[in-house]
Structure 1
Amino acid sequence: MTGTQQYADPVLLFPGQGGFDGAALSRAADGYPQVRAVFERIDTVTRQTHGRALSSTLFRATPVELTELLEDEPWVSQLAIYGAGLAAHRILTEHGVRPSALVGHSLGEITALVAAGGYSVEDGARIVLSRTAAIARKDGGTGAMVALAASPARTRHLIGLLEDEGLAVATENHPAQTVLSGPREAIARVKAIAGHLGTGCVELAAGFAFHHPALASVAPDFAASVRDLPRGPLATPVYSPILQRFYDQDESLGDRLADHFTLPVRFSSAMAFLHEQGARVFVEAGGRALLTSLVRKNLSTVDRLTVLSTLSVGRDHTLRLPDTLAELRRTGLATGDGLESLRRYLAPELSAAEFSTFWTTTGHEIAALVNRRLSDFRTAPEDAVGAVETGPAEPAGAERGGAGAGVPSREEVFATVRGLYAQALEYPEEVFTPGVLLEAELGVDSVKQVELLSRASEHFGLPPRDADFRLADHETLDRIADLIHHELGGLRGVGAVETGPAEPAGAERGGAGAGVPSREEVFATVRGLYAQALEYPEEVFTPGVLLEAELGVDSVKQVELLSRASEHFGLPPRDADFRLADHETLDRIADLIHHELSGHRLQGASA
């Protein structure tokens, strides 16, 4: 890479219309917590204004495409592009990137101002919503935009030939590409003439006709709606391809953003100016590498990198972000690994070097776990949040497995353990839900877990455990409560229920009648089926191993395997509301199948 004294650091570019790559955003969210953090802040706004969280649309099993967003409400695609740009900026800066300037393309200029500190993330989202609503009221979805493979001068000549005042130059991207904005009927005529002239012409994925003189009537109302939002100083210079200058610290940003409605984006001129000033490295903080391709058309002697886009490798799509960060680190433009804030929260006892090594090997698993738990939390009914799915809680005073007098109930054991852990770790009790993973989700390392389990065992008067005891089998408070309750039953001479999946051979769980295999037999059969299909040794399929996070079995493959196991046992298809996320271990899958077998065969016997 090359550079000059004045612009030794990279210029960050924020895309506008079309700058969204759903697959890249999903992959980044799996490995970089900054992505979810940004969109959670945007969600607080969209819940208030539209009664829904944007994250639920963007983060799902199958990555969302821009075409799908454009079929949704107009604000959805706009905020998705805005949020992706901010997430990319946060990832870069938390990896030590210190941009020399920020540049936005159309909508991206709002992103750039927020990234610079001019507005909060939430107020930036409000500005995007106000902008979209104002244009929608005027445009009503009747406008369109088209990119012509022609210079601005030639494009204006074409407008003159059509004699259509509804057409306007919206963007000057590079010497051989100009974007027109106008009514759909006029844009259709442009496309027809361009075809006759042999001029390349592509309609853009845009919901409205942006940067058009017809929007002048709604600009004042927009300015009034955002003018009083609190603004902060711009910590990084922001250059406007629309205004053709840097923003001043003391000017009204709301009024300047209103000017965007009618003025064109002169991106090619902006790149030429910044290059003259010494800029040599441009990094696109957004999706699809749209702006870096434009930079290449405008400037040949610069380096171009992108963040939230994917690279096709055969049939796979690889996120470019890791390679971009590696290149920036190699040249000294990124001085950190982005993990310091995570280290302080999750493992403050580790050094930065130790945590970096830890995160390199396990970060993707932890991120996947957190994202799945967040998804389950968001989609669960409010009255079900915090409820125990696998059944550890029982009516107060009930003795699990017939435990006799003197043995606290399973519910009482769980409540006591929860209080002990919360007090020792100085966490609110609310975070200790039954299934929360102590290390992966709460950052409680194995040494601390041993200490806490010993403290809880001493509280209940339990003796030390055998040397072959495996802490890894008890990674949640649910399992720890099971363990202690079971041990209390054995210690006091009563029949506490085993905590594992295994039961005596031939036992019928849940009172199922003859012909129903035992829970142990179901587990063994499922284990064999999964091992054979995945070509893994059976030993790796322990009851609590997480299929996706620990074994890398994606959701599509899990659906296939569960269907295969169900067919083996002759079970009918499940209802449409079945949630695969509730069955992420072989333990839970065996529970599910055994429960269904019991109900299915009892139902058949009574028919």
Structure 2
Amino acid sequence: MKTAVDTVFLLPGQGGYTPGMLAGEAGSPMVAEVLHTVDRVAGEFGRGGVSGLLTNPGSPSAAELVRTDSFALQLAVFAAAVASCRLAEKHQTPDVLVGHSMGEIAALTVAGAFDTADGARLVCHRSEALLAHCPQGGAMAALELPADRAAHLVDAVAVPGLAVAVSNAPRQTVVSGSEEAVGTVMRLAEALGAQATRLNAPFPFHSPLLGAAGEAFGQAVAGIAQHPLRRTVYSPVDGGYVSDSTDLKALLVRQLMRPVYFLAAVRGLHAAGASRFVECGKAGLSGLVRRSVPDVIAEPTVRTAARAGAAEAVAAPVTALTAPVPAVAAAAAPVPVASVAPVVDAARILEQLRELYATALGYPAEAITGDADLEADLGIDSLKRAEMLGQVAARFGLRDSAAEGRFIVQPTLAELAGLVATALGEQSAAPAATLTAPVPAVAAAAAAVPVASVAPVVDAAQILEQLRELYATALGYPAEAITGDADLEADLGIDSLKRAEMLGRVAARFGLRDSAAEGRFIVQPTLAELAELVAEAQTAAR
């Protein structure tokens, strides 16, 4: 079995569905073939097809499908992963395929162990078994804790069926079990100061509670043929490579009840040489990889409805490697604000916000819904929300408006998306103005722009002068009061929350993108030290 790898394809399970996520690829013959086959198999089970869910951005959300049609949700997740992988294979060949949770069925299908129709049948039989035999009141929750600490909490609660379900990242572990038991674990985690997030999962996956469903599933799929593998597959459940001698249907049955060791899989493959992890879809797996191993490229492949329209000019720098990045003016020559063509569709902005928050916070994508209360449901306090506003400002080019209090008080991402859309519309309609500092020059098309084309200001002395002007203007202080060595809190009375708000403006002004979310920016006590850090980040971006 291969021991040296470079490129790993990741196929998502739960969280791998977003309404209309394949809308931009609906005309692709390979996508059409996958969707046609999956719809045909759905008909064999007396169900409607799922093509519309994946090609129509107005389709029901994952949260809604969890409540109303988990069968369709599971099938859509499978179809999305297989179709996305087929598209990714046009550009590069994976050395290894890794399926996360139910994504193992998609990985084995792409690898040739099952044809697309039989892969879809496996999903349908699995869903039927779960609907018939899964206990009521099951739940799953993501904890910002290492797996061993999460296991201690599970042991402390000591309720049958409660289990560590997934080890995702160094500080993200999913637990699964009864509603009451999972709720108790969440309260214990929160008492320890750890974030706990309820997942939109229709069943308590990877829990002993699914034993009866697993037995029924195994019996139902006994007649499905297993074929020789054409690609290498690593199973995060079995903790190693599978082979033609592996009973893969038995593996899929075990997977319903056993934990997913995704973190160990990522680290093991990285140790074997993997430097590129391609997420076939968009469920937050690439963010988990970046949290788990250093010096790798990890990116999603799907252009969702939020990114559709390749010819449209976008004001937001997108972090995916194949998306446009801002080209920053090398000189301080005035740049007309009116030349920026912003995204003003709130629905598209919401999808980008969900991806941004999921990646930055390390949450499963399905946990970041538009109507989830940022504080009550997701535990994002005011300070963290202000830090995230720095990323939002940089991504959408909000400029000065990001410092307005109305942004930080929005309770949900849906409401924040509406406000961003309004602000971008106002900026677009505003008369041309000039800025003395560099602003992002937006790509007029979706062709990738090499990062090397960014020419930032990297002179700390120049950056300090711009910071002094920015802070003086925004805070209404006399310019002479804003010295480089003045302590922002002790001398100027700028508390942590206000400092985080100001970081949004700093991020937008200097094109810091994701680095603005790093805690080191907000803890710098003086503008001189902040200027040095901005210069360092600008240099690193070159």
Q: Counterpart amino acid of 1:304?
A: A
SS of 1:147's equivalent?
strand
Please say which structure displays the higher CA radius of gyration. 1
After superposition, what is the alpha-carbon deviation per residue over 1:342-389, rounded to whole angstroms, capped at 9, x for unaligned? xxxxxxxxxxxxxxxxxxxxxxxxxxxxxxxxxxxxxxxxxxxxxxxx
The equivalent residue for 1:18 is 15
The equivalent residue for 1:192 is 187
**1:311–1:318 contact (8 Å) kept in structure 2:** no
Offset of residue 103 of structure 1: 0.1
Offset of residue 219 of structure 1: 2.2
After superposition, what is the alpha-carbon deviation per residue over 1:417-467, rounded to whole angstroms, capped at 9, x for unaligned? xxxxxxxxxxxxxxxxxxxxxxxxxxxxxxxxxxxxxxxxxxxxxxxxxxx
The equivalent residue for 2:208 is 213
Aligned pair partner of 1:116 in 93, 111, 116: 111
The equivalent residue for 2:56 is 60
The equivalent residue for 1:34 is 30
The equivalent residue for 1:286 is 281
**2:21–2:55 contact (8 Å) kept in structure 1:** no
* Cα pair distance change 1:208/1:297, threshold 3 Å: same
| Distance (Å, rounded) in 1 between the aligned partners of 2:76 and 2:117 | 13
Offset of residue 319 of structure 1: 12
* Cα pair distance change 1:217/1:71, threshold 3 Å: closer
* Cα pair distance change 1:321/1:45, threshold 3 Å: farther
| Distance (Å, rounded) in 2 between the aligned partners of 1:168 and 1:175 | 18
**1:306–1:321 contact (8 Å) kept in structure 2:** no
Q: Counterparts in 2 of 1:537-548, with a 5 A limit?
A: none
The equivalent residue for 2:228 is 233
SS of 2:177's equivalent?
strand
**2:24–2:303 contact (8 Å) kept in structure 1:** no
* Cα pair distance change 1:166/1:98, threshold 3 Å: same
The equivalent residue for 1:411 is none
Runs of 4+ in 1 over 4 A off after TM superposition: 309-323
Offset of residue 42 of structure 1: 0.3
After superposition, what is the alpha-carbon deviation per residue over 1:466-489, rounded to whole angstroms, capped at 9, x for unaligned? xxxxxxxxxxxxxxxxxxxxxxxx
| Distance (Å, rounded) in 2 between the aligned partners of 1:42 and 1:23 | 16
**2:13–2:102 contact (8 Å) kept in structure 1:** yes
| Distance (Å, rounded) in 2 between the aligned partners of 1:257 and 1:308 | 26
Offset of residue 137 of structure 1: 2.2
Offset of residue 309 of structure 1: 5.2
Offset of residue 48 of structure 1: 1.8
SS of 2:257's equivalent?
coil
Corresponding position: 1:83 with 2:79: yes
| Distance (Å, rounded) in 2 between the aligned partners of 1:132 and 1:61 | 24
Offset of residue 189 of structure 1: 1.8
* Cα pair distance change 1:39/1:141, threshold 3 Å: farther
SS of 1:17's equivalent?
coil
* Cα pair distance change 1:324/1:112, threshold 3 Å: farther
Offset of residue 311 of structure 1: 9.6
The equivalent residue for 2:4 is 6
Corresponding position: 1:299 with 2:296: no
Q: Counterparts in 2 of 1:4-403, with a 5 A limit?
A: 6-8=4-6, 10-29=7-26, 32-60=28-56, 62-93=58-89, 95-288=90-283, 290-308=284-302, 310=304, 324=322
**1:114–1:121 contact (8 Å) kept in structure 2:** yes
| Distance (Å, rounded) in 2 between the aligned partners of 1:317 and 1:51 | 41
| Distance (Å, rounded) in 1 between the aligned partners of 2:104 and 2:88 | 18
Aligned identity (percent) is: 33
* Cα pair distance change 1:317/1:155, threshold 3 Å: farther
Offset of residue 299 of structure 1: 0.6
Offset of residue 107 of structure 1: 0.3
Q: Counterparts in 2 of 1:565-580, with a 5 A limit?
A: none
Offset of residue 139 of structure 1: 1.9
SS of 2:22's equivalent?
helix
* Cα pair distance change 1:64/1:205, threshold 3 Å: same
Q: Counterpart amino acid of 1:236?
A: R
Q: Counterparts in 2 of 1:517-556, with a 5 A limit?
A: none
SS of 1:50's equivalent?
coil
Gaps of 5+ in 1: 328-607
**1:166–1:183 contact (8 Å) kept in structure 2:** yes
| Distance (Å, rounded) in 2 between the aligned partners of 1:115 and 1:203 | 31
After superposition, what is the alpha-carbon deviation per residue over 1:38-76, rounded to whole angstroms, capped at 9, x for unaligned? 111101011121242222344336244222322332211
**2:20–2:56 contact (8 Å) kept in structure 1:** no
* Cα pair distance change 1:166/1:309, threshold 3 Å: farther
| Distance (Å, rounded) in 2 between the aligned partners of 1:40 and 1:258 | 26
| Distance (Å, rounded) in 2 between the aligned partners of 1:77 and 1:218 | 18
| Distance (Å, rounded) in 2 between the aligned partners of 1:70 and 1:315 | 35
| Distance (Å, rounded) in 1 between the aligned partners of 2:97 and 2:278 | 10
Offset of residue 114 of structure 1: 0.1
Name whichever of 11-20 and 316-325 sits farther off. Answer: 316-325
SS of 2:256's equivalent?
coil
| Distance (Å, rounded) in 2 between the aligned partners of 1:118 and 1:133 | 22
